């Protein structure tokens, strides 16, 4: 198969990945509006950990080999950080809805670019710094501070964006010594452990229809991660990374059509600035590598 065909397939897989993750966001929002967030995320992680361990067992050397790492504290922190970020983001869905939460959260790529210097020692040129500033200005437009209608809840997805950006950078840092399979294993297992420790104290009875939705939530998580793994297997990350913004498009569509949300003008304008700035930083990063 040619590189061009690989890239085309990678884009299609990323298209499917972002759609599945957007559906997962919608299911998380629905369930967390009725049940405790910690419980919802805990059950989701049970399924995710089982999925991770199944994949890891099929690797050469099995679970023991995949779990080996020279940086256990870093890997454990990554797993706990992502689980915490998911809880915060799902809480944001319940307070703000999908449209505004995802619009703010999409700024994480800009935060990654800004923090890649101090954490990874990468060079960020003046063009990317301008794009970062423009993107953060877009976030301010979404937040509307100083206009008397600023919601403190809008800080929730912004905190989640910072945490996910840090998680992404630490994942890249961990990749200097560990394989992606090892990082994936620690992400699922540590997340499962910490969420079980927290969620076990927040159990609630669920009606049968919501258990069906919970099963769908778990299946979308496993499917989304499988598609993402396949995506990066067949195409370069730099080629498909810009299409991750489709999750904002799909999520906003679900928010409007399913939950009756309204896309405010400031959210639309701010999101356009954030996405445009993010795409520019991704493009500049790709140019710097060529």
Average pLDDT, the chain: 87
Beta strands in the chain (DSSP E): none
Cβ 34 vs Cβ 210: under 8 Å: yes
- Angle at which helices 126-143 and 108-120 cross, to 10°: 140
Quote the CA–CA distance of 55 and 49 in Å, as a whole number.
Answer: 10
Quote the CA–CA distance of 76 and 222 in Å, as a whole number.
Answer: 21
Please check the confidence at residue 20 and state whether its pLDDT lies above 70. yes
- Domain residues for the domain of 8 are 3-289
Kindly report whether the global pTM for this prediction surpasses the value 0.85: yes
Count of C-beta atoms within a 10 Å radius of residue 233: 12
Please check the confidence at residue 50 and state whether its pLDDT lies above 70. yes
198 band by pLDDT with thresholds 50, 70 and 90: very high
* Alpha-carbon dihedral angle through residues 113, 115, 116, 122, given to the nearest 10 degrees: 100
Query: 96: closest CA among 45, 32, 39?
Result: 32
289 band by pLDDT with thresholds 50, 70 and 90: low
Please check the confidence at residue 145 and state whether its pLDDT lies above 70. no
Residue 290: what pLDDT?
59
Please check the confidence at residue 9 and state whether its pLDDT lies above 50. yes
Lowest mean pLDDT among 20-34, 107-121, 140-154, 157-171: 140-154
Please check the confidence at residue 61 and state whether its pLDDT lies above 90. no
How many helices (H) and strands (E) would you count in the chain?
13, 0
Query: What is the pLDDT averaged over residues 177-188?
Result: 92
- Which residues, 6+ apart, have CB-to-CB distance to 56 below 8 Å? 62, 63, 66, 67, 181, 184, 185
Residue 238: what pLDDT?
67
Cβ 248 vs Cβ 102: under 8 Å: yes
Q: Quote the number of domains for the chain.
A: 1
Quote the CA–CA distance of 183 and 188 in Å, as a whole number.
Answer: 9
Query: 288: closest CA among 46, 170, 117?
Result: 117
Residue 148: what pLDDT?
46
């Amino acid at each position: 198969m040619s590189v061009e065909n690989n890239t085309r397939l990678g884009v299609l897989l990323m298209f499917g990945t972002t759609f599945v993750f957007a559906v997962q966001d919608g299911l998380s929002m629905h369930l967390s509006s009725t049940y405790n967030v910690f419980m919802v995320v805990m059950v989701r992680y049970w399924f995710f950990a089982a999925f991770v361990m199944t994949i890891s067992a099929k690797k050469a050397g099995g679970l023991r080999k995949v779990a080996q790492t020279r940086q256990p504290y870093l890997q454990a922190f990554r797993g706990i950080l992502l689980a915490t970020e998911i809880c915060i983001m799902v809480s944001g869905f319940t307070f703000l809805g999908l449209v505004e939460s995802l619009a703010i959260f999409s700024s994480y790529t800009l935060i990654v670019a800004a923090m890649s210097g101090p954490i990874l020692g990468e060079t960020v040129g003046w063009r990317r710094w301008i794009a970062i500033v423009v993107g953060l200005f877009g976030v301010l437009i979404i937040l509307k501070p100083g206009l008397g209608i600023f919601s403190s809840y809008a800080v929730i997805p912004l905190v989640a964006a910072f945490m996910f950006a840090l998680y992404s950078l630490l994942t890249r840092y961990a990749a200097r010594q560990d394989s992606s399979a090892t990082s994936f294993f620690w992400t699922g297992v540590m997340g499962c452990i910490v969420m079980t420790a927290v969620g076990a104290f927040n159990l609630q009875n669920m009606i049968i229809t919501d258990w069906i939705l919970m099963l769908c939530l778990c299946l979308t998580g496993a499917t989304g991660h499988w598609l993402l793994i396949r995506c990066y297997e067949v195409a370069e990350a730099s080629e498909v990374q810009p299409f991750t913004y489709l999750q904002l498009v799909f999520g906003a569509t679900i928010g409007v059509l399913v939950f009756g949300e309204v896309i405010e003008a400031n959210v639309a304008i701010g999101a356009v600035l954030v996405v445009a700035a993010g795409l520019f930083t991704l493009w500049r990063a790709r140019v710097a590598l060529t």
